[in-house]
Structures are given as structure tokens and as C-alpha cells.
Amino acid sequence: MGRYACLAVVLGACLDQAPLTVDKPALDLPRGAATDLAVEHAGQPVPVDDLSWLVDDESIATVTRTSDGDRLRISAVTEGKTSIHLGSHGQVVDIFTHVSPPAFVQLWIEPASITAPIGELVPMRATAIDTTNTIRDVSALTGWQVMNADVATFDAYAVTGTHSGHTMLQAVLADITSTVPITVY
């Protein structure tokens, strides 16, 4: 076989090589969050020790190994856009990464339950924690709703009992919901 025929066979084998794949080819993470990433070649997991990586801007996102060493962990550091380049088996996969502002992860209402006589005004407060572990008063950002307006009303961050009975106060922030029971006597 001539030189060019051998080269064609070698190139053909390279072109037929199974692709390197990731389970998340693009990432959109809030600042402070992290996600684990699995890498496969020919349908088989690629050990982290067989991977190399480069982040265009490590001030935006970082790559580390998970504690079990089976996956990569991508952590969102600051808002912005960057690319992560993963290499193994002679191939490179690029992962576009966008880091957005922190997202709320938990919401709670204070007080945690309301028991009040008809006509009493009970001040309410909503507090949330975000992906950077910052706790914030989000009362003004929260949507409030009394489930049964015949029993109580909500106005100016306070619940007022109108008739004897039971209902719930619901607070919604982004996609997080929290509720507290209301008893009016």
C-alpha cells in the first residue's frame, strides 16, 4: 500500500472515531451555584483522570473534580460568559457557560403561623436565601395571596382576620412558594 493510501486509512479511522460527549453541552448557572458534568466516549464514562480542561475565564467559572472523582463540577463564580474546553481521546468538546445573577433557593414567611382574633393586624415578612448563601428580606419582591379572602385579607405586608375560620397565606418569589396557616377566631 502506498504512502497516500495509508494516510487515507489512518484519516478515515480518525474520522470514524466515536465522539466525545457531555451530558450538558451548554450551561446557564446562577452565581454561587454548581453543577456536575459527565463526559462519555463511545457511550462509556471517561474517568476524570483521563480528561484535561481549560476555562477561558476562570473568574467566571471554575472546574474541579467531584469528591467521588467520577465527574467534573462546574462552579459559577461571577456573572458573565465563558467557554470550557474538555479534552480526551484526541478530541475537544466546548461547553458555553453563562453565569447569571444569584437565584433564590429558599423562601420562608414570618411568622410561621398566624392565630389572631377578627380585626387584628398581623405584620408579615418574607425572607429568602440565594445561591451565594445571602439572606435577604424579600417582602417587597414577593407575591402574596390569602387562599380564602372570606377569612382574612392581606394588605401592606399584614394579614387581617375578617371572619372566624382557617385559611393559608401563600408567598411566591420567582419559582419558590411558601405558605403559612391562618386561624382567625
- pTM over cut 0.75: no
Owner of C-alpha cell 456573572: 79
Picking from 55, 83, 100, the residue at the C-terminal end of a domain is: 100
Write the pLDDT tens digit of every residue in 4-14.
Answer: 444 444 444 45
Instruction: Find the helix or strand (DSSP H, E) in which 96 lies.
Output: strand 91-100
* Segments of the chain scoring below 70 in pLDDT: 1-16
Amino acid, res. 39: V
Q: Is the peptide bond before 117 cis (omega within 30 degrees of 0)?
A: no
Specify which residues 61 forms β-bridges with: 76
Whether 128 and 89 map to the same domain: the answer is: no
Whether 68 and 132 map to the same domain: the answer is: no
Whether 159 and 137 map to the same domain: the answer is: yes
* 95 and 82 Cβ atoms separated by less than 8 Å: no
Structural domains in the chain (count): 2
Owner of C-alpha cell 451548554: 26
User: How far, in Å, CA of 84 to CA of 92, rounded?
Assistant: 10
Domain that holds residue 156: 104-184
Q: What is the pLDDT of residue 18?
A: 85
Q: What is the pLDDT of residue 10?
A: 45
Within a domain: 6: no
Within a domain: 165: yes
Whether 46 and 76 map to the same domain: the answer is: yes
Q: What is the pLDDT of residue 11?
A: 46
User: How far, in Å, CA of 39 to CA of 169, rounded?
Assistant: 45
Within a domain: 117: yes
Within a domain: 7: no
Q: What are the cell numbers at 81?
A: 460568559
Within a domain: 90: yes
Whether 77 and 147 map to the same domain: the answer is: no
Backbone angles phi, psi at 139, to 5 degrees: -55, -45
Within a domain: 2: no
